[in-house]
Structure 1
Amino acid sequence: MNKRLSAQSISPENVSLIDEIIRLSDFTFDRLPMLDIIGERLVANMSVMLPDMTYAVCEASFQQLDYLPMAQVIEGLPSPAVLAVATGHPFDGEILLVIDRPLVVTVMELMLGGKANQLTIEEADEFTSIELRFGQRLAEAALFELQRSLSVVGSAELELDRVETDPDAASVANSNSLCARMRFSVAIAGQSCALEVVIPYDALEPIRPHLGKIYFGDRGEGSNGWKDLLTDQIEMAHMDLEVVLNEIEVPIQTIMGWSVGDIVDLCIEEGADATVMGADKPMFKAALGKRTNGYVAIQITEKLQDLEVGEDADNTD
């Protein structure tokens, strides 16, 4: 997937061969295989992020990684496009996120309740204000997923700096500065869309040693995407709780003889604690009380040891 540029493809002007060799000597064309892995991780993350935003099936793929000067990047930008400029660790400078108009409009229509099979993308020379706003939201979400994807080379913290539509205003490096460009295709709601990540080589300098060798595990304080997703889902889950005042044994013959109006003594002493149960397991001890509105309430007084069994079991090997 990595591509190396020839002298002909990188030269923005018709210069002599000697001048071109001197200019190219300032660039490093070493393969950075970790950018491929970061790109694949970004694809996996976007394949979860976009359906969460739009409630539509999405298929993303990593198309290409190549190296070219900023001038050539600007020349190849789609028009119009949302050009999001971001900064932050671990990059030493600005990076550029390019989102084409079909992706912005498709996401906007779906988030506003449009039907996937009724979308039509009309050509336009520029974005409306509402399209730009949704483009900014999409850029922020994509940058967060890129931040997570970078965990394979260390911790990352990216922040959207500005959103542009003028390519010249979105240039994140000098015209002859070498950049790494990752291209992605996104199929969503029957639309074929595109997204690009452009990182100047100078901005890669702090992590370039890590990009030259392949490893797949998270490093540093980088988060695990699936762990974060699972944690979020667990935190949003609901659980039924039961408050057990007391448990008593009653002969079956006595129960069979009960009738309306009979009084059952629960044998609860004043000040006795109740037990809070979850999934048929005791979780807390609680004291009974009454709120000012007249409702009965409980106050957690003790966390039962049963909650720690799972953690202790992991440490008994």
Structure 2
Amino acid sequence: MTDRVVPVEEQIIQMSMLNYEPLPMLEVIAERFVLSLTSSLKTQTASVVDVKLSRFDYMSYAAAMAELPGQGLIAVCNAEPWDNSLLMAMDSRFLFAALELMLGGQLNKSTGKAATKPGGHTFTTIERRMGQKLAELTLAELREGMQQVSDVNFVVERMESNPHFATIAQPNSAAVLMSLDVDFEGTKGSVAIIIPYGTLDPIRPLLTKVFYGERYGDDAWRKHLSERIETSTVTLTALLHERSYPMAEVLCWAVGDTIDLRLEEDHPATVLCSGVPMFKGVLGKKQNGSSALRVTEDLNGRDELSHVVDPD
């Protein structure tokens, strides 16, 4: 039995579905969310709590749903005023350890574990309500982190124990998965938050910006850092020409074909540094035969890069 040969067109479609726009600011928000949630859970449970961000991944909604805990509660939430939804899932170990401590109980010191639901057992109304309160507490900390870029409020609409009843997006749509590992005095549980890209659409341009951090340290240290950066080496790329071709024409290319680039001998080139256009220039040759480029126009790329070194 031979493997099926996947056509080039289908491969392109599959690869395009796997490419998700990174959201650097959201990653920063997630890290700060973990710190604030740790402090909040310590206050609410009066115990030693350790929260870690175990993973932050861009994936399809179906793949993210497959990573949810097998047994627990899922909070289906509405993001106001974005007018869209997100999910927060809590496994039973996190849920019952947190609830037991919040109600003044103590974890089993001999095993370091809290009670968990037997397989297939449904959650009671009281457990669902307490789980919703715990979800609201967690989402309140996420809302505080989001305040850096947008005013938003996360409202829990309902609690579900079956993931099939918590569907909020198409299986192939892009989503962000944030998984947290929570340790209550030796009892370890997990929390997962799934945010579809559609939910983030109103603020996605803000989340795609690179975060350089606040200004810390004295001026002497900043001057030293700037001097070290200025004396470092960078890689420059000379982009000679770009031309678009119909996909149907590209798929018909074969070995031996001649591609007309429509490139003149004195065509100008663009010099880039890390993708930032720096200069325009004209290509030529030196007396020893090596290629050279004469700068004819400054594209202000130096100013843009200098702002990264010193945003002031």
Shorter chain as denominator, the TM-score bin is: 0.5 to 0.7
Per-residue CA distance 1:209-233 (angstroms, 9 max, x = gap): 111113457xxxxxxxxxxxxxxxx
- Deviations for 1:175-206, whole angstroms, at most 9, x for unmatched residues? 11111111111111211111111111111111
- Tell me if 1:174 matches 2:170: yes
Over 3 Å counting, the alpha-carbon distance change for 1:106 and 1:22 in structure 2 is same
Equivalence for 1:214: 210
Give the deviation of 1:61 after TM superposition: 1.2
Letter in 2 for 1:203: T
Measured after TM superposition, the shift of residue 24 of structure 1 is 4.6
TM-score normalized by the length of structure 2: 0.60
8 Å Cα contact 2:76/2:157 also seen in 1 = yes
- Identical aligned residues as a percent: 32
Aligned CA distance change for structure 1 residues 151 and 22 (closer, same or farther; 3 Å):
same
Maintained 8 Å contact 1:45/1:145: yes
1:202 corresponds to which of 195, 198, 201:
198
**Match in the other structure for 1:128:** 123
Give the Cα separation in 2 of the matches to 1:181 and 1:42: 14
Residues 188, 15 of structure 1: alpha-carbon distance in 2 compared, 3 angstrom cutoff: farther
Alignment partner, residue 154 of structure 1 = 150
For residues 159 and 75 of structure 1, the distance between their equivalents in structure 2, rounded to whole angstroms, comes to: 24
Please report the RMSD computed on the Cα atoms of aligned residues, expressed in angstroms: 2.2
**1:185 counterpart = 2:185:** no
Does the C-alpha gap of structure 1 residues 133 and 127 become closer, same or farther in structure 2, counting only changes over 3 Å?
farther
* 1:207–1:105 Cα change, 3 Å: same
> Compared with structure 1, are the counterparts of its residues 89 and 139 closer, same or farther at alpha carbon in structure 2 (3 Å cutoff)?
same
- Distance between the aligned counterparts of 1:61 and 1:90, measured in 2? 29
Could you list the runs of 5+ residues in structure 1 that have no partner in the other structure?
1-13, 218-317
Secondary structure of 1:99's aligned partner: strand
What is the identity, as a one-letter code, of the residue corresponding to 2:21? D
Q: Could you report, residue by residue, the CA deviation over 1:241-270 in whole angstroms, capped at 9, with x for unpaired residues? A: xxxxxxxxxxxxxxxxxxxxxxxxxxxxxx
Distance 1:136 1:41 in 2: 22
Alignment of 1:197-276 (within 5 A): 197-215=193-211
State the aligned residue count: 204
Question: 1:94 pairs with 72, 85, 88, which one?
Answer: 85
Match of 1:76 among 61, 67, 90: 67
Determine helix, strand or coil for the equivalent of 1:109: helix
Alpha-carbon distance, 1:91 to partner: 3.5
Query: What is the aligned partner in structure 2 of residue 34 from structure 1?
Result: 25
The structure that has the greater radius of gyration is: 1
Which amino acid in structure 1 is aligned with residue 105 of structure 2? G
Contact 2:37 2:138 in 1 (8 A): yes
